[in-house]
Amino acid sequence: MDNPQYKIALIGAGTIGTALGNVLAEAGRDLILLHSVESQVVEDISQAHINSKYFPTLRLHNNLHATMDERMLGQCKIIFLAIPSVVMVDYLIKIRKHLPPDAILINLAKGFGHGNKTIIECLQDEFPNPLLTMKGPSFAREIINRLPTGFTIGYRDPGHITKIDDLFVNTNIHLDYSADIRGVEILSILKNIYAVVMGIVDAQFNSPNLRFLILTKAFQEMRKVLLASGGNIDTLFNYCGYGDFTLTALNDLSRNRTLGLLIGKGFFTEHVSHELVLEGKTAVNVFYEQISKTMRVEDNFPIIAELYRIFNTKYEISLFVNKILNSPE
């Protein structure tokens, strides 16, 4: 295929990249390019229109193509970034010369970049491109099965809104928007932290009353952390806020809730996924260290403080819920 035929690309052919790419391909948005470093994934999509690693039973649309060649990104006008946050910035710097400087880059990853900065802040330091972030309550399997799904688009330049809105017309993707791009990024990290909390609670108690008591406390503390981190309170009520938090905190398909369930049952050992533990621990440590520069974390953010102890000290997990319940309001 000729390179200029591709106007929309997704870097990363995992679950979310494949799901969104297939949605756009089905909607007739020209030819959609999936860029991946996984040779078997590229081969399977190219030859059989199946991503056998992530969606082995689903046939992908013929307009969704895959490549390992980053040069094919050269004519794309919109590029979704669907690779893990821990490798995002370094990888994009590596392929910098193949990214058109005027292409809109849309971050789908949820995590910190370099130096405790958000992904968007890191990319702003390195690239001249227009930058957006896209976050919301979105399990990839439901997206690819065409179930209605909400995302928040965080932006700085409102001129980009129409382009993204038009992209998802007549699809199962529903959008809201926020000019608080930092807040959108921060909430996508916070919701994972507090999903761990809800997993711990539900592992120890089968109590709806307690579940929603702690859920309320967690949401209140998320609000305080968001404001302390420079976000806007209104962003809590976008898809990226309340919606993404409750999806991640209360659904057993959530990796971070699952981590909490394992911790709550006493399985916080080497058998727990190293990647998942590192992701949660890194986020907790960043927020704890940032907050502690200006105030005492234990007095103002007791849930973060307890999670910090879980990840960094020898901790008696049976005491966790009572410590949260008896913490300052």
pLDDT digits (tens, 9 = 90+) for 16-68: 999 999 999 999 877 999 999 999 999 999 999 999 999 999 999 999 999 99
Distance CA 222, CA 304 (A): 10
The predicted pLDDT at position 327 comes to: 86
Residue 277 reports pLDDT greater than 80: no
Q: How far is CA 279 from CA 4, 118, 266, 275, in A?
A: 37, 14, 19, 6
Tell me the pTM.
0.94
Distance CA 186, CA 80 (A): 19
The predicted pLDDT at position 76 comes to: 96
* 274 — pLDDT class (breaks 50, 70, 90): low
- The stretches of the chain forming alpha helices (DSSP H) are 15-26, 39-48, 85-94, 119-126, 140-144, 161-167, 181-204, 208-228, 244-250, 255-264, 274-291, 297-300, 302-312, 320-325
> 268 vs 284, which has greater pLDDT?
284
Average pLDDT of the residues of the chain: 93
CATH of domain 3-179: 3.40.50.720
pLDDT in tens, 139-175: 999 999 999 999 999 999 999 998 899 999 999 999 9
The predicted pLDDT at position 326 comes to: 92
CB atoms within 10 A of CB 98: 15
Pick the range with the lowest mean pLDDT from 146-150, 193-197, 242-246, 281-285.
Answer: 281-285
Q: Is-contact 222 187, C-beta < 8 A?
A: yes
Quote the Cα angle for 222-111-169, to 5°. Answer: 90
Quote the Cα angle for 228-233-237, to 5°. Answer: 135
DSSP three-state, residue 33: strand
Distance CA 310, CA 138 (A): 28
Task: State the average pLDDT over residues 105-129.
Answer: 94
CB atoms within 10 A of CB 157: 12
For the chain, the domains span 3-179, 183-325
Q: How far is CA 194 from CA 31, 102, 185, 187, 246, in A?
A: 39, 37, 15, 10, 9
Pick the range with the lowest mean pLDDT from 15-29, 87-101, 222-236, 265-279.
Answer: 265-279
Q: Is-contact 129 123, C-beta < 8 A?
A: yes
- Where on the phi/psi map is residue 119: left (φ > 0), alpha (ψ -120 to 50), or beta? alpha
The predicted pLDDT at position 2 comes to: 47
The predicted pLDDT at position 237 comes to: 97
The predicted pLDDT at position 1 comes to: 42
CATH superfamily membership of 183-325:
N-(1-d-carboxylethyl)-l-norvaline Dehydrogenase; domain 2 (1.10.1040.10)
Task: State the average pLDDT over residues 174-181.
Answer: 97
Residue 3 reports pLDDT greater than 50: no
Residue 276 reports pLDDT greater than 80: no
Pick the range with the lowest mean pLDDT from 3-17, 64-78, 238-252, 263-277.
Answer: 263-277
The predicted pLDDT at position 304 comes to: 96
In the block, residue with structure tokens 């970034």:
81
Residue 211 reports pLDDT greater than 60: yes
* 272 — pLDDT class (breaks 50, 70, 90): low
Residue 74 reports pLDDT greater than 50: yes
The predicted pLDDT at position 124 comes to: 96
